[in-house]
Amino acid sequence: MTCRQIVELMTDYLEGVLSQMDRDRFEQHLAGCDGCQAYLAQLRMTRNVVGRLASEPIPEATQRDLMEAFRGWKSHQA
Amino acid sequence: MGEQKSDSDLAALRDGDEEAFQSLIQRYHAPMLRLAMAYVRDRGVAEDVVQESWLTCLRRLGEFEGRSSLKTWIFGIVINTSRARRRKEARILPFTAFWRRDDSDSDRPTVDPSRFGADGMWRSGPAIWENVPESKVLSDETMQRVKSAIDGLPSKQREVIVLRDVAGLDALEVSALLGISAANERVRLHRARSAVRKMLEEYLK
């Protein structure tokens, strides 16, 4: 397999859906290819950096409004 | 692990435990907002959609049957609320406002073909990002650029990358929520991550 083909299989590889045969060929290529190793590391890092968006701060006013809504909901439950 | 956490969340919520609700907000609000923004164009509208989604979750909590995790259920409500809002907006705004080129399901190369030689091997290999100072990788500016890169993706890719990589749902949950095949989910994830990677490569070099 060429690097050009390998890069398009990287998500399937990370998702663990390659067939055993493709996986073996993929890993064989990777073992001997600095470029593809670097690319795979970049994709993993991309995933991690995107994941950091989950911890974006929430405006206090929003939190206050939501907690108030929760209390309102709770008092209707009772 | 996630399931069990959800279950204890659920019991606490039904008991009216404020801390449990606060903790859900801390964990899910930001991903919910990112997700809503994949459907509606404007951040203000997205904030409104998320607020409405939380209220819907509370209102329907009694009906939740645990057929999915609580988390998946909540994100499903965000999708439905966002889509309803988008339909409403589409009636007001000209249709073209929502038209964009969409390569979400294509198998066109995700890496510029000129990066490879005639033999299909790297002409110039990708940089080693481990060598980039962490302060730059995790800077506010990087995060702003990541947000813009995601905002620039077609909706079909945005919803997948947000659900997978920001919300942290797994592949099965996401394909079920979006009603797409596992293969489609992967293609969209691949295209989305590749696009964000490409932007980062430009920025970090």
CB contact under 8 A, A2 and B119: yes
Render pLDDT for B62-89 as a digit per residue (tens, 0 to 9).
999 888 899 999 999 999 999 999 988 8
Q: Please say whether the dihedral angle defined by the alpha carbons of residues B22, B24, B27 and B33, taken in this order, is positive or negative.
A: negative
Domain that holds residue A13: 3-77
pLDDT of B94 reads 57
Residue B167: closest C-alpha in chain A: A54
Cβ contact A43–B194 (<8 Å):
yes
Contacts of B18 (CB under 8 A, 6+ apart): A67, A70, A71
% pLDDT > 70, chain A = 99
Q: Return the minimum-mean-pLDDT range out of A12-26, A35-49, B32-46, B169-183.
A: B32-46
Tell me, yes or no, if A76 comes closer than 8 A to chain B by beta carbon: no
Question: In chain A, which among 9-48 make CB contacts under 8 A with chain B?
Answer: 10-12, 15, 17, 33-36, 38-39, 41-43, 45-47
* Cβ–Cβ contact A50 with B under 8 A: yes
Q: What is the pLDDT of residues B156-204, one digit of tens each?
A: 999 999 999 999 999 999 999 999 999 999 999 999 999 999 999 999 9
Q: Could you report the predicted ipTM of this complex, rounded to two decimals?
A: 0.94
- Given the structure tokens 């942290």, which residue do they identify? B168
The number of distinct structural domains making up chain A is 1
> Cα torsion at B103, B36, B76, A64 (round to 10°)?
160
Q: Most B CBs within 10 Å: which of A3, A18, A68, as the mutation test of the B interface? A: A3
Domain coordinates of chain B in residue numbers?
Answer: 2-93, 116-204
Write out the DSSP string of A4-52: HHHHHHHHHHHTT-S-HHHHHHHHHHHHT-HHHHHHHHHHHHHHHHHHG
CB contact set of B22 (below 8 Å; sequence gap of 6+)? A63, A67
Comparison of pLDDT for B94 and B23, the residue scoring more: B23
Query: What pLDDT score was predicted for residue B6?
Result: 61
CB B30 to CB A55 under 8 A?
yes
- CA angle, corner B67, sides to A48 and B70, nearest 5? 45
Is A2–B25 a contact, with Cβ atoms under 8 angstroms apart? no
Give the percent of chain B with pLDDT over 70: 92
For residue B137, the model assigns a pLDDT of 87
Residue B4 or residue B205, greater confidence: B205
Q: Do B129 and A34 touch (CB under 8 A)?
A: no
The rounded distance, in Å, linking the Cα atoms of B114 and A51 is 30
Q: What is the CATH number of the domain that holds A38?
A: 1.10.10.1320
Question: Residue A48 pLDDT more than 60?
Answer: yes
DSSP secondary structure string for all residues of B14-41: HTT-HHHHHHHHHHHHHHHHHHHTTTSS
Is B166's CB within 8 Å of A12's CB? no
- CATH class, B2-93 region: mainly alpha
Exposed, middle or buried: residue B140 (CB in 10 Å: 0-12, 13-18, 19+)?
A: exposed
Q: How would CATH label the architecture of B116-204?
A: Orthogonal Bundle (1.10)
At B170, give phi and psi (nearest 5°): -90, 170
